[in-house]
Amino acid sequence: MICKLEKKGIEELKATNILPQTPFWGRVKSNQGFTAKGFELTVSKDVLIHTSDTQVKIEDDLLVLIKCIDKHHCFAYVPYGPKLEPSFENQGLFLEQVSESIRPHLPSNCMFIRYDLMWKNQWAAEKDYFDESGNWLGAPSSQTQEYRVNFKTDNWNLKKSVSDVLPKNTFFLDLTLEEQELLGNMRYNTRYNVKKAISKGITVQEYGREYIADWYKLYLETAIRHNMPLQSMEYFDSILSNQDNNTKGVNVKMLMANADGKFLSSMFLVLSKERGTYLYGASANCKNNLMASYALQWESIRLAKDWGCTEYDMFGSAPNLNQTHPLRGVHVYKKGFGGNLYHRMGCWDYPYNQKLYDIYRYQELKN
């Protein structure tokens, strides 16, 4: 059973590789209208692993974001949390107990809690869900997923969300390797493009908030080109201004690649404990032949390694090489750097008010 759930100040949350579970993320999302709450969660180890000793207790922090829908309704959202990861057969039981334990700490008008799980997708561990070329075919229907995840629960209340919020698929690079090994693991074309960009005079530097307008110009070009939903320039400025500026917290680097004084590509590299994350990227519509984004990504990987990170998260891709997927091009680009593809469980809901949750879910389906 859940042994204890205690409130904790956002700034008291411990450093972690999981960026969306940091005080930094709580501050950034607070600027977007969320209310951030911190907790310390204590569980019996047998809730995570069925055969474990019930006397062993495990503690971890939990960041929860409250989002108001209107004056009378809200929901709770847990970005890439809980960080504690149960065995597959205990995932539903664990989420049910966390949901019921945290319920008294949430507003009385909270309709449901949504977990954006970064746990490994259960169906990505089964050969039946891969094709002959090794491409993951994706998880089965929501009904099938819910049947398995709820199997050991008391209330059978966990629902697969209509959609996912944070990236569900990503590539991870092992930064414990030497630079030559990292280069050697790249696909030939990617390695060639990195070297070509450098030979063509592409330089990569870190820039401060005074260059946020230059970043945003590239971002707008990219968003329009790919028909992406837009964030405001103030949002990106808040990412830079809310960082911790120390090695124990979260450090943000706005990197920009230029040639002959013209910015061609830019990105936000976020360093959290031992993980570097490629959070946002943007590029110009011109001079693609200079391959600036390849030099930029390689320099970002090198910086994360020099910082002391042991892994690098590409933060989002298609689940496979399906020609029709809107992120196929992103997938091909990121795959070229030689990382391992990882599939997460994505978003799951635990309703507190079933009637109101059904109405909200219907609205999500319509949108």
Residue 128: DSSP 8-state: G
Tokens of 150: 């709820």
Distance between CA atoms of 185 and 191, rounded to whole angstroms? 9
* Tens digits of pLDDT across the chain (367 residues): 566 889 999 999 999 999 999 999 999 999 999 999 999 999 888 888 876 666 788 899 999 999 999 999 999 999 999 999 999 999 999 999 999 999 999 999 999 999 999 999 999 999 999 998 888 999 999 999 999 999 999 999 999 999 999 999 999 999 999 999 999 999 999 999 999 999 999 999 999 999 999 999 999 999 998 888 889 999 999 999 998 877 678 999 999 999 988 999 999 999 999 999 999 999 998 777 789 999 999 999 999 999 999 999 999 998 888 888 888 889 999 999 999 999 999 999 999 999 999 999 999 998 7
Residue 20: DSSP 8-state: G
The residue among 261, 287, 309 that closes a domain is 309
- Residue 331 domain-assigned (yes or no): no
Same domain, 20 and 76: yes
- Residue 287 domain-assigned (yes or no): yes
pLDDT digits (tens, 9 = 90+) for 200-246: 999 999 999 999 999 999 999 999 988 888 899 999 999 999 988 77
- Residue 323 domain-assigned (yes or no): no
Same domain, 11 and 53: yes
pTM of the model: 0.94
- Residue 48 domain-assigned (yes or no): yes
Tokens of 134: 């090794």
The residue among 293, 309, 325 that closes a domain is 309
Q: What is the dihedral of CA 94, 140, 342, 11, to 10 degrees?
A: -40
Same domain, 100 and 79: yes
Same domain, 161 and 127: yes
Distance between CA atoms of 283 and 293, rounded to whole angstroms? 7
Domain CATH for 15? 3.40.630.30
Q: 280 is in which domain, residue-wise?
A: 176-309
182's CB contacts (< 8 A; 6+ apart) are 173, 175, 301, 305, 338
Same domain, 103 and 193: no
Ramachandran class of 295: left when φ > 0, alpha when ψ lies in -120 to 50, beta otherwise: alpha
Residue 72 has a CB neighbour count (10 Å cut-off) of 8
Determine the pLDDT at residue 15.
Answer: 93
What is the SS3 assignment for 240? Answer: helix
Q: With beta carbons less than 8 A apart as the criterion, state whether 44 and 5 touch.
A: no
Same domain, 113 and 194: no
The residue among 283, 309, 335 that closes a domain is 309
Same domain, 7 and 120: yes
Q: With beta carbons less than 8 A apart as the criterion, state whether 268 and 279 touch.
A: yes
- Residue 320 domain-assigned (yes or no): no
279's CB contacts (< 8 A; 6+ apart) are 19, 239, 267, 268, 269, 270, 315
Distance between CA atoms of 227 and 167, rounded to whole angstroms? 17
- Residue 352 domain-assigned (yes or no): yes
- Residue 286 domain-assigned (yes or no): yes
- Determine the straight-line distance between the first and last CA of the chain, rounded to whole angstroms: 38
Same domain, 144 and 16: yes
Same domain, 38 and 157: yes
Same domain, 156 and 210: no
Same domain, 21 and 138: yes
Burial (0-12, 13-18, 19+ Cβ within 10 Å), 261? exposed
- Residue 276 domain-assigned (yes or no): yes
Distances from the Cα of 279 to the Cαs of 102, 266, 313, 335, in angstroms? Answer: 29, 11, 9, 16
Residue 249: DSSP 8-state: S
Query: How many structural domains comprise the chain?
Result: 2
Q: Report the amino acid identity of residue 20.
A: P
Same domain, 153 and 275: no
